[in-house]
Structure 1
């Protein structure tokens, strides 16, 4: 078996290549120029990974596989929607692998051309773990039956399975963020700025994940659909498992979106309740202060009153002030206004 420790570099970014013969890995990291000759060999399947490809590399692959200029343009255009397009002799896929970072959700775009015996992945930016994809190919799924025609279906399964698993990991991480947000909302400290920051980021990440995860159901279903099914019978259970995972991601994302909406409604209600509590306390203290003010104002009239210029008058007014204040405090405390 031919091997190389690192991918070759042509154009703007590194290129990785692999060739399998009858299901066994035979060559790795060979030049792009060898794509045609290796595909013309018997029983071979080839994979190319192009990172920020140069025009010459794209032209070589396009001419060799007979790709449409429209599909090639989509592969190097950023922020294309998630989709599966059928062309004569091949299928074009556009997928997004999510990654959770400290700054929020990051989506890594992956375009793929799938022919009967070639898989070409195109990425404009690094970030997607290609080594994890290679490991997934090496570890499964099970090979096609003895004597079956060479097929890229196992490679496509590995790619889809990895992307959907990353989406599952992401929605699980967002679920943890929702739990943290719930704890903050019902915390006695009620950190308003932190709650607003986390809720905005969580809603933004959920919208982004939902936009790239929901179409995955249609993509896998299209691959499995008869009579033009692209998946051999031996791999149907493996693709069906990926389809089940796409349903789980979609359902979990929708549930989280509803949960976050309910949490935000709860935050508004709790904030209103806390405002009412503050207003009750302010009103209660204002009432306690108002009674002594009324008493001292009454004794401040320019008229003789009981106890005028006597010690008994001072004691009576002081007693009224202290007694009324204590009585009002006790009443408000019993009613839980303070």
Structure 2
């Protein structure tokens, strides 16, 4: 069974992007309830039952668990499930209103876990206002005989994950904590996918900054840093909860899954290391960009200063001869004017040559 479970953990996770699971066609049990199923010995039992009927069937049989999936439930829609399963009011408030940090909280009869989901937003070219990372939330109530998943956001559908788990009954036979592990593994794998896509964006910005034409990409760099911060806020707070799950066995978590939570923790560590490295790399790219801008400005100022110095010579000569003194040098000589012009041009040429040799022009 454990070998099958290991293979199940490694199977590719299909993705469903931007599906509205609150649509009536996908929610036969209500506007917020996406699915409600009973599992016994890892096998889904036939029929779709309301939550009260499903949990009664499990508790009367003394085997299996109920998995209820919800999408952005309101307080009224969630009230019946809260009363049925005795969920803690603080956890319920977090699940309904969302916008929570990733965390793991222990209550008397359940665990409450919050995951931040992420998705890379595709784009042809990164701009100053491009959205790179889209975030959502998945919250789980895990008890002895039930698991309730609450999803917020337009991505991170758990439908494919449910189907994946149902194809491996040995994994679902471990109980609700198997769903908790599968969701954690899915979320962290999405982090890895997003970091790989963000790295491509960073490579593009880096190539543009160091191109021959230079770059006007300060805005794109800042945008990437902002989006990277969103990814960091999703991944970094999750480290402690996953480490807790990967540590000593706890209530409502099958001890046989501890090793697999360690694998999730290892992947999460890799994500946080990559985020830190990306942030440092973006800082370096930004500093290089600012240095290029400074160098370009200095070169422009040197060119302007050089031409000002060259033009100062004819300006000075014209200013002297424009004072209309009676006794000006060579004023009454036939070749005086050509001589002054020639001397002025010669001096300007010498100055220009000097600036050219020094790299100012």
Give the TM-score, by structure 1 length. 0.87
How far apart, CA to CA, are the structure 2 residues paired with 1:305 and 1:237? Answer: 99
Measure how far apart 1:309 and its partner are: 4.2
Q: In the superposition, relative to structure 1, how do residues 303 and 12 fare at CA in structure 2: closer, same or farther (>3 Å)? A: farther
Q: In the superposition, relative to structure 1, how do residues 113 and 143 fare at CA in structure 2: closer, same or farther (>3 Å)? A: same
Note the residue ranges of structure 2 that are not aligned, 5 or more in a row.
1-23, 122-129
Report if the CA contact (8 A) 1:296-1:317 is conserved: no
1:143 alignment partner, one of 170, 178, 194: 170
Describe how 1:171-320 pairs up with structure 2 within 5 A. 171-192=195-216, 195-228=217-250, 231-301=253-323, 302-320=325-343
C-alpha deviations, 1:255-306, integer Å up to 9, x for none? Answer: 1112222222222322222221111111001111111212223333423344
C-alpha deviations, 1:34-69, integer Å up to 9, x for none? Answer: 332232234323211111224454233223322112
2:96 alignment partner, one of 39, 62, 76: 76
Measure how far apart 1:78 and its partner are: 2.5
Is 2:73 the counterpart of 1:45? no
Q: In the superposition, relative to structure 1, how do residues 227 and 162 fare at CA in structure 2: closer, same or farther (>3 Å)? A: closer
The match for 2:87 is: 67
How far apart, CA to CA, are the structure 2 residues paired with 1:125 and 1:9? Answer: 20
Note the residue ranges of structure 1 that are not aligned, 5 or more in a row.
none
**Aligned-partner SS, 2:118:** strand
Q: In the superposition, relative to structure 1, how do residues 20 and 255 fare at CA in structure 2: closer, same or farther (>3 Å)? A: same
Q: In the superposition, relative to structure 1, how do residues 134 and 310 fare at CA in structure 2: closer, same or farther (>3 Å)? A: farther
Measure how far apart 1:163 and its partner are: 0.6
How far apart, CA to CA, are the structure 2 residues paired with 1:126 and 1:310? Answer: 90
The match for 1:110 is: 138
Measure how far apart 1:160 and its partner are: 0.4
How far apart, CA to CA, are the structure 2 residues paired with 1:237 and 1:225? Answer: 9
Measure how far apart 1:108 and its partner are: 0.5
Task: Tell which deviates more after alignment, 228-237 or 287-296.
Answer: 228-237
The match for 1:167 is: 191
Report if the CA contact (8 A) 1:91-1:114 is conserved: yes
Relative contact order higher in (CA < 8 Å, ≥ 6 apart): 2
**Aligned-partner SS, 2:211:** coil
Q: In the superposition, relative to structure 1, how do residues 309 and 11 fare at CA in structure 2: closer, same or farther (>3 Å)? A: farther
The match for 2:126 is: none
Aligned residues between the structures: 328
What's the Cα RMSD here? 2.6
